[in-house]
Amino acid sequence: MNNWRISAVSFAAVAALSAISLSGTTALAASCPIKIGGIAPLSAPGAVGAGEGMRAAMLLAEKDINKAGGILGCDVKIVIGDSEGLPEKAKALMEKFITQDGVVAVGGAYHSSVGVGSKDIANDRHIPVVFAETWNDTITGDKQKYIFRIAPLSSWASATLWQAALLVPNIKKVAILTENTDYGIPAAAETTKGLLSGGVAAETFGVDIGTQDYSGIVERIKAGNPDYIIVLATGEAGYNFTQQAADAGMGPMDIPFQAGQVSLESKAYWENVPDGNMAFVQRIGTPPTLWSEKALALNEAYMAATGRGVIESYAMEAYDSVVILAQAMNEAGSTDGPKIVTALENISYDGVLGRIYFPYGTQKDPSADSKGDEWWHQWPDPAMTMIQYQKEGQNSVDAPIVWPDVYKNGDAIYVK
């Protein structure tokens, strides 16, 4: 299933490598198995459903890597850690990965605040990280040598939201519900700026991550009589807002309403938001109709392992974030951090998300192509689409893609 080159390094040679240096000058595997850290939000206030999906995907990656021969002749062990979606927890988790678990690289992570909070620790210790689902531009924007990302930039992903919103007939005013985090705050600002460029006003309503009761916010938004609502809340909290808004006569069946990305997990969405029909949902990644054989095989394994419907984009990202590290180590012939970085900067990885590569880094600065610093170690090609649930209980994979035109297979239905 995976197509990386397996090194001929023997078990004895790997076992003879020096231990991980906490100073970061070297990062060589001491013995088998080789350990890779996997970050996921597995408890509140993090997006638990997303975290469970990411954990399942990373464990499937472990299985596939080992089936294909492992890393440098060793089995790989994915050490899963719970970030809770909080930066202070992420810092402690990254420290534990490095000082106690002996990981040589790290993948995964869902919340931008987790990436922002933990990246400096990994970079200072020369531990390569491939972040899976952290959007904040600053995560790659400070051009750290050991930090990579396969999720889209927040500024880029936000364009999906406001460009799709501008298609709503007679739209004049948008309400944005956002969490006060490293994801929500810049995403709301970028979305507002884009809407204003199209002559549409926006008002932002901020809440803390994990908020459950939105009654006061719902009434404030309702009083403003918006033409469109955009939800920038990660995790299951977005379900609560969407249903509470619907209870107040302001849900997806009442006015155009873009629900949070977690709503792609259709079973949980419909259980929590029975009045959620007609919601728009942003999807990151190639549409399922265009998936490769590798992606289809992972989807089947994921559904069997989790009992869920179609695999979510964040789970696919988590899978690729781990497998690309394995390929990089095999191509480098080493678990030394600097050598892994060199391999990643030159990699062409055929992942479930598509071909992943990093055009900018130590060998070519983004400025060479008039790109901003945020493009450092950034995969440039993640697909972004907008779907719409148009039947109650519909699976997200069956919902029509209504934007952009290159992927579109159905027309949007605008209520109100």
Residues 32 and 54 placed together within one structural domain of the fold: yes
Tell me if 324 is assigned to some domain: yes
DSSP at 7: P
Residues 164 and 124 placed together within one structural domain of the fold: no
Residues 166 and 101 placed together within one structural domain of the fold: no
For the chain, what is the domain count? 2
| Structural domain of 334 | 11-153+291-375
Judged against a pLDDT cut of 80, whether residue 150 lies above it is answered with yes
Judged against a pLDDT cut of 90, whether residue 164 lies above it is answered with yes
Distances (CA, A) of 146 to 40, 143, 362: 19, 9, 10
CATH number of the structural domain spanning residue 203: 3.40.50.2300
Residues 365-402: tens digit of each pLDDT:
999 999 999 999 999 999 899 999 999 999 998 999 99
Tell me if 408 is assigned to some domain: no
Q: What is the pLDDT of residue 28?
A: 45
Judged against a pLDDT cut of 90, whether residue 209 lies above it is answered with no
Residues 219 and 166 placed together within one structural domain of the fold: yes
CA atoms within 13 A on the CB side of 121: 20
Distance CA 127, CA 147 (A): 9
Tell me how many degrees the CA angle 115-371-130 measures, rounded to the nearest 5.
25
Residues 132 and 218 placed together within one structural domain of the fold: no
Tell me if 110 is assigned to some domain: yes
Q: HEC string of 324-383?
A: HHHHHHHHHCCCCHHHHHHHHHCCCEEECCEEECCCCCCCCCHHHHCCCHHHCCECCCCC
Residues 201 and 253 placed together within one structural domain of the fold: yes
Residues 265 and 303 placed together within one structural domain of the fold: no
Tell me if 240 is assigned to some domain: yes
Tell me if 1 is assigned to some domain: no
Residues 53 and 123 placed together within one structural domain of the fold: yes
Q: What is the pLDDT of residue 363?
A: 95
Mean pLDDT within 272-280: 97
For residue 291, give every residue at least 6 positions away whose Cβ sits within 8 Å of its Cβ, in sequence order, or none: 299, 352
Residues 277-332: tens digit of each pLDDT:
999 999 988 888 889 999 999 999 999 999 988 899 999 999 999 999 999 999 99
Tell me if 416 is assigned to some domain: no
Percent of the chain clearing pLDDT 90 (strictly above): 82
Judged against a pLDDT cut of 90, whether residue 249 lies above it is answered with yes
Q: What is the pLDDT of residue 284?
A: 86
Residues 328 and 354 placed together within one structural domain of the fold: yes
Tell me if 143 is assigned to some domain: yes
Residues 102-130: tens digit of each pLDDT:
999 999 999 999 999 999 999 999 999 99
Q: Which burial class, exposed, middle or buried, applies to 135 when counting CB atoms under 10 A from its CB (0-12, 13-18, 19+)?
A: buried
Q: What is the pLDDT of residue 262?
A: 85
Residues paired with residue 106 on neighbouring β-strands, in sequence order: 37, 129
DSSP H helices, 179-214, are 184-197
Tell me if 412 is assigned to some domain: no
Residues 313 and 218 placed together within one structural domain of the fold: no
Residues 305 and 159 placed together within one structural domain of the fold: no
Q: What is the pLDDT of residue 230?
A: 97
pTM, two decimal places: 0.84
Residues 55 and 103 placed together within one structural domain of the fold: yes
Residues 5-51: tens digit of each pLDDT:
333 333 233 332 333 232 333 334 448 999 999 999 999 999 999 99
To the nearest 10°, report the CA torsion of 223, 227, 232, 237: 60
Distances (CA, A) of 259 to 34, 121, 177, 337: 40, 34, 10, 39
**Confidence label for 234 from pLDDT (cuts 50, 70 and 90):** confident
